[in-house]
Amino acid sequence: MAKKPRFFSAPKPARKNLPAGAEAEIEKFSHDMRGIARVSGKAVFIDNALPGEKVKFRYSARRSKFDEGAAQEVLQPSPQRCEPRCVHAHLCGGCSLQHLVPEAQIAAKQKVLLDQLARFGGIEVPELLPPLVAAPFGYRRRARIGIRIVGRGAKKTLVFGFRQKGSNDLTEIDECPVLHPLIAAQIPRLKQLVGESDGRAYFSQLEVVVGESAAAIVLRHLKPVTAADRERWLAFAAETGIHLYLQPRDAASAHKIWPGDGEDYLTYDLPEFDLTLRFHPLDFVQVNAVINRQMVARAVELLNPQAGERLLDLFCGLGNFTLPLARRAGAVVGVEGEGGLTQRGVDNAALNGLRNVSFHACDLTQSIESHPWAAGGFDGILLDPPRSGALEVVRRLARFDAKRIVYVSCNPATLARDAGELKSLGYSLVKAGVMDMFPHTDHVESIALFKKTR
């Protein structure tokens, strides 16, 4: 195991012309889980610092309205501080909160959700749903590991890992306790394999993903893989049982080279709904399989589909919510901007014998009213948009006269903005809560139920 670094080692040298370090008392968290202090009357956002702590920090940036810094020493620790499990946590951008106990992490995320709804939407939550939580380690079933050669001549060095905090540089890793064990166990071997490959200078990343019964690795290479390298990687795949894909260009060019038979897909199950969904290793799927199952069950419970109802699932992907809803409702329409994912949805519906569901590709930032699938209205609507939210489509939802809307969000700020828009359309927020999809990070996943009140 690599020698453990000091927890407060600076990720990179401080910029020149910055003042020397100072002491500060941390008042509260920012929305991105940095400690906020006031030094000489000016706000300072401090990495690795927790509310209630007194720390010694170094400045990393100075701005007109606020400064930034990173804690170097904790003079008075919070009782919620813990020792990070990962030796790379001080530097790696994959996790930013391993120094905070998991129970306090989800409580802080819940506060962010409530604060953002109040600030940007002018909305209070009448009923707070219990947080959805699961094991905080070994949960990531998909990740992207970067590969770079740095330096020149004899000083060239391979760097294999994730991005550093606040930087595009990579952190060299030897382990990752948040990755699924099937992949985490192979990190030393993968790192060695990349280093031994003739074409390592033309490898840019490994996409790793774990399905229900198999794992896969997609090697992105900028020049053709040599015959010797192909044999090296095939031997690794055969020995470990991990499916191997090569990707010479864009995502569409990715193709499986081991095993030589079978389909180019992995699967995941939603057993509560008796569903198996197929996906390509480069398709979007939620990173946390356990939380995803809980989230789908909660979304279906909140939307409360009835046998005779027609539902709309916007930003539906490959059917993660669409198909479970179809198990309960009379008919479900899934709409997604990416045509490849809608086709995957069609295939998954057929795989599971569902005939009351249809999938459509549509740009959801544009008008949707004229599409044939939009005719007839809907009893309930589910939205699961990207971080930018769904403002354009939310403004058009009133015409469907849905009684219930469930909004699944990965960004509380855009959820709050869109909640304000829904309020103006006659919908009231009834319930909301957070989901710990990404433990040890500042990502806040949430779900909210709105009902038509006028």
The pLDDT value recorded for residue 7 is 41
The pLDDT value recorded for residue 16 is 59
Q: Binding site annotation covers 86?
A: yes
Q: Which residues contact 136 (CB under 8 A, 6 or more apart)?
A: 102, 105, 178, 436, 439, 440
The pLDDT value recorded for residue 431 is 98
Within a domain: residue 174? Answer: yes
Determine the angle formed by the axes of helices 102-121 and 412-424, rounding to 10 degrees. 40
Domain that holds residue 178: 142-266
Number of folded domains that form the chain? 3
Within a domain: residue 97? Answer: no
- Residues 42, 165: one domain? no
Q: Binding site annotation covers 363?
A: yes
- Residues 222, 293: one domain? no
The pLDDT value recorded for residue 6 is 33
CA gap 71, 50 in Å, rounded: 10
The pLDDT value recorded for residue 276 is 98
- Residues 43, 180: one domain? no
Based on C-alpha coordinates, what's the Rg of the chain? 24
Within a domain: residue 128? Answer: yes
- Of 81, 99, 120, which residue sits at a domain end? 81
Q: Binding site annotation covers 316?
A: no
The pLDDT value recorded for residue 18 is 81
CATH assignment at residue 69 = 2.40.50.140
The pLDDT value recorded for residue 15 is 56
* Positions of the chain with pLDDT lower than 50, given as ranges: 1-14
Within a domain: residue 102? Answer: no
The pLDDT value recorded for residue 369 is 87
Within a domain: residue 276? Answer: no
Retrieve residue 43's tokens.
Answer: 């706000």
CATH assignment at residue 153 = 2.40.50.1070
Q: Binding site annotation covers 336?
A: yes
CB 266 within 8 A of CB 211: yes
Just list the catalytic residues: 410
- Of 65, 81, 97, which residue sits at a domain end? 81
Within a domain: residue 94? Answer: no
CATH assignment at residue 378 = 3.40.50.150
Q: Binding site annotation covers 304?
A: no
The pLDDT value recorded for residue 151 is 87
CB 72 within 8 A of CB 57: yes
